[in-house]
Structure formats: C-alpha cells, structure tokens
C-alpha cells in the first residue's frame, strides 16, 4: 500500500473559485432535480457567478450549512418495493463535488485494485470480466454476499474517524459531518440522519469506498481468494470450499467491526459448476462442453432482459400518435444504453432480441397505419437500420473485438 500522508490545509483548495467553478460545471451538466429549496439547475446557472461568489464567501466565513436532503422514492428493479434516493440542493451538490475533487486524490492511490465502483478509469465491465477470468482459471467456489442496507447503515462516527486519519483540516471534516447530519425532508417532514450517507449525494460513493477500504485490503491479503467489489456489491472466489468459507468468515468479522451486517437470505457459498450466481446485473453459470470439461458463461439476468423488453413494449405501443421514425428515435437511446452495458457478455440471443424488436416495430406499423401485414418485403431489416434502429448483435461484435482475453 502507498504510504499515507496527512493533510492539514484543504479548505482553501475546496473553496477556491476555480475549484467551485469546475464543480458547478459538473453538477449543472447532470441537470439533476431541485432540492428542498426548489432551486433548479437552470435557475442556479442563470446567476452562476453570483451564486458561486455567495457560496465561496459563506464557506470562507464559516457560515455555510448544507440544507436537508429532499427524499424521493424510486422503484427497486425486479421487486414491488421502493428505495429512498436523496436529492441535495444544487448549491450543496456543488460543495460536495468541490470536496470530492480535493479528497478523491488523497485516497485514490491507496485504494485496493479489487475495488471498481465509482473510481476514475474503472468500470463494472472490468469487474465482471475479471470474475469471468477467474472462473475460467478454476475459481469455482463463490461467496455470493449482500451487505444489508449499506448506505443507510454506515456508522457516521467510524466514517469520520477514517476521514480524520488522512485529513486534519477541521473545516473540511465539519462540512462532511454537517452533510451527514443534515437530515432529510420526506413528505414535508424533517427526519434526522444519525446513520448512513444519502444515496444521491455526490460525495457518497467516495465515502462508501473509504469506509469499506479495510474490507478490500483484508480480503486482498487472503491466500487462495480473489475478491471483487463494486460499491456495496462484492463477491469472493476460491478454488476450494474451505477457502470460500474462510473468506466469508473473514468478511463477516471485518463487517462486524464496521457495524455492518450481511443479509442472511442473500448471502451464500455456491459451486458455480452446480449453481448460478448474479453480480452487477449479470448471471454467471457453468455449461458442459463436448470434451466434458465445461466452461463458464455469463449473460444478462433474466429480470434485466424482461425489464428491457417491457420498456420496448411501452415505446412501441400501437395507439401512440407517432410515425415509425419517431418510434425508432425513441427506441435508439434505450437499446444503445442497455446494449452498451450488457453486450459485454456472451450468453444471450442478441440476434433474437434484434428480431423481436423489429417485429414490434412492424406490428406498430400494421396497427397504427393500417398497412398490409406482409411487411417483410416492404420493411426489410436493412430499412430499420437505415432509419437508425441499433442492432444488439452488431454492438456485441464490436465490443467483443475490444475485450481482453480472460
């Protein structure tokens, strides 16, 4: 691990006009929703210079206090449940981004190579292809684990202690503490936040990585175990059941010290030769080959495919007052976004999904515009391509050429 250094003066770097301006540019580019003060990104941008001057002055005079986070509830994929999302005020998002820009370089050089989530130059694709590579190398035993309510359960004092190991600037630590304790507004009622960090906060991903850094380095040192973490999702792979059991016991011990718990119903040890497991939206499984040795494969989770098809059905509803070009224009970003994430995997019928999408489009034309049902001649596959309909099979071929060999 790179030698740690303690930083004593950071506040002036956080509130510097250049840093606040770059932080504001990043926040405004995302064009997120308004917080409890109802100030939108557009309104903030209208008077950007004045807003940043006031914000910088408040920070320098130690008058800056973050507002409570506006809580919204969003559907949890694949369930009937909802999960909370915090929406900070735009000005608070600017401060969080300004803090992140100064704090991230302090921790980034010492983070484990096993951590992939929300880190510059790292991605979920790297994490899943690394898992695939280890499965190919004989790491068949997998600790498939889930941290229960991770973002909502972090101990704030433990987190502040970890920050203080590197940062001695009380002003910066005070800002972070105030953000953690600002509370939430839910349906007009203020609620305290004595634990956790808000999902939706610009700073939360970095804080989450700092909090679990000890888990990364502890698991990294385990012999016979390969560990991969992406935010609060992680798994450990081993060649033997005994090594997998040791990995789970070690992880449980570290998480207990961090005052976190593993979900009892979502934590298990599996032999991938017998039982599939999921990670970051993909399902990993084992298939038999003609020579009897078998090999691993991975593809989109069934639920991910069904959610994608539901979205395509919604966009190709036949009662819409739209022409086919408008429908394809609406479909294109959905297909590209889903495909760019999932076509890194090989175990899916990409050509079949392409054909299904085209048939949805043909059915739209028949129903909406009373065209003759024999459309395969009038609307061949190439015509959809000419109108801009992306192809998942083509995306798969392109991404396969770029992938490193496992």
Dist. CA 172–CA 36, nearest whole Å: 23
Tally the residues of the chain.
406
Considering Cα of 390, then 396, then 398, then 404, what sign does the dihedral take? positive
- Distance, in Å, from the CA atom of 228 to the CA atom of 144, rounded to the nearest integer, reads 11
Contact 237, 226 (CB under 8 A): yes
- 15 and 56 Cβ atoms separated by less than 8 Å: yes
With beta carbons less than 8 A apart as the criterion, state whether 331 and 312 touch: yes
- Under DSSP, the state recorded for 403 is S
Q: DSSP assignment, residue 270?
A: E
Going 290 to 292 to 296 to 298, the CA torsion angle's sign is positive
Q: What are the structure tokens assigned to 301, written together?
A: 């989770």
Distance from C-alpha of 343 to C-alpha of 364, rounded to nearest angstrom: 26
pLDDT tens sequence across 84-99? 888 999 999 999 999 9
pLDDT given for residue 5 in this prediction: 81
Write down the H helix ranges in 137-169: 150-153, 156-164
**What is the C-alpha separation between 305 and 338, in angstroms, rounded?**
9
pLDDT score, position 404: 58
Helix (H) or strand (E) holding 14: helix 11-14
If residue 305 lies in a helix (H) or strand (E), which one and from where to where? helix 302-315
The secondary structure of the chain in percent helix, strand, coil, rounded to multiples of 5, reads 50, 15, 35
pTM for the model stands at: 0.89
8-state DSSP, 272: T
Structure tokens at 196: 């956790």
DSSP 217-239: HHHHTSTTEEEEEETTEEEEEES
Q: Structure tokens of 148?
A: 């229960």
Separation in Å, CA 184 to CA 157, 200, 261, 307, 379: 19, 12, 24, 30, 53
Q: Give the burial class of 401: count Cβ atoms within 10 A of its Cβ; 0-12 exposed, 13-18 middle, 19 or more buried.
A: exposed
Starting at the edge strand found earlier in the chain, the sheet holding 184-186 runs 82-87, 69-75, 184-186, 189-191
Torsion of CA 361, 365, 368, 373, to 10 degrees: -120
Which pLDDT tens digits describe the chain residue by residue (406 residues)?
A: 445 788 999 999 999 999 999 999 999 999 989 999 999 999 999 999 999 999 999 999 999 999 999 998 887 766 677 788 889 999 999 999 999 999 999 999 999 999 999 999 999 999 999 999 999 999 999 999 889 989 999 999 999 999 999 999 999 999 999 999 999 998 888 999 999 998 888 999 999 999 999 999 999 999 999 999 998 899 999 999 999 999 999 999 999 999 999 998 889 999 999 999 999 999 999 998 888 788 999 999 999 999 999 999 999 988 778 888 999 999 999 999 999 999 999 888 999 999 999 999 988 888 765 555 554 456 888 899 999 999 999 999 988 777 655 4
The three-point CA angle 278-281-283 to 5° equals: 40
Question: What is the distance between the alpha carbons of residues 281 and 310, in angstroms, rounded to a whole number?
Answer: 16
Give pLDDT, residue 1: 47
Q: Give CA–CA dist 142/140, Å, rounded.
A: 6
Give the N- to C-terminal CA distance of the chain in Å, as an integer: 26
Number of helical H runs and strand E runs in the chain: 18, 11
């Amino acid at each position: 691990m790179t030698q740690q250094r303690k930083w004593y003066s950071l506040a002036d770097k956080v509130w510097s006009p250049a840093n606040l301006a770059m932080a504001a540019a990043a926040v405004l580019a995302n064009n997120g929703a308004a917080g409890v003060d109802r100030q939108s990104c557009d309104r903030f941008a209208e008077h950007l210079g004045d807003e940043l001057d006031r914000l910088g002055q408040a920070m320098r005079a130690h008058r800056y206090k973050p507002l409570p986070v506006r809580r919204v509830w969003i559907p949890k994929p694949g369930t009937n449940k909802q999960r909370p999302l915090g929406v900070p005020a735009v000005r608070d998002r600017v401060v969080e981004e300004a803090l992140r820009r100064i704090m991230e370089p302090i921790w980034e050089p010492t983070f484990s190579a096993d951590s992939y989530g929300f880190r510059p130059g790292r991605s979920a694709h790297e994490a899943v292809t690394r898992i695939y590579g280890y499965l190919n190398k004989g790491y068949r035993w997998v600790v498939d684990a889930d941290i229960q309510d991770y973002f909502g359960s972090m101990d704030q004092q433990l987190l502040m202690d970890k920050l203080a190991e590197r940062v001695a600037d009380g002003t910066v630590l005070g800002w972070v503490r105030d953000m953690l304790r600002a509370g939430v507004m839910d349906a007009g009622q203020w609620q305290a936040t004595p634990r956790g960090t808000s999902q939706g906060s610009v700073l939360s991903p970095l804080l989450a990585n700092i909090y679990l850094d000890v888990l990364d380095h502890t698991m990294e040192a385990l012999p016979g175990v390969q560990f991969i973490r992406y935010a609060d999702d992680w798994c450990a792979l081993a060649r033997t059941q005994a090594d997998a059991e040791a990995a789970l016991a070690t992880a449980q011990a570290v998480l207990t010290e961090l005052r976190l718990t593993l979900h009892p119903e979502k934590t298990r040890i599996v032999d991938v030769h017998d039982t599939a497991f999921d990670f970051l939206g993909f399902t990993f499984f084992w298939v038999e080959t003609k020579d009897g040795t078998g090999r691993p494969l991975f593809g989109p989770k069934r639920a991910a495919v069904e959610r994608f098809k539901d979205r395509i059905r919604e966009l190709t509803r036949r009662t819409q007052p739209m022409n086919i070009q408008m429908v394809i224009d609406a479909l294109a970003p959905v297909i590209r976004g889903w495909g760019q994430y999932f076509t890194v995997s090989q175990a899916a019928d990409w050509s079949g999904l392409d054909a299904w999408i085209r048939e949805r489009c043909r059915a739209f034309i028949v129903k909406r515009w009373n065209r003759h049902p024999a459309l395969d001649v009038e609307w061949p596959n190439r015509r959809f391509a000419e109108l801009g309909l992306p192809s998942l099979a083509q995306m798969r071929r392109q991404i396969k050429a770029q992938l490193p060999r496992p």
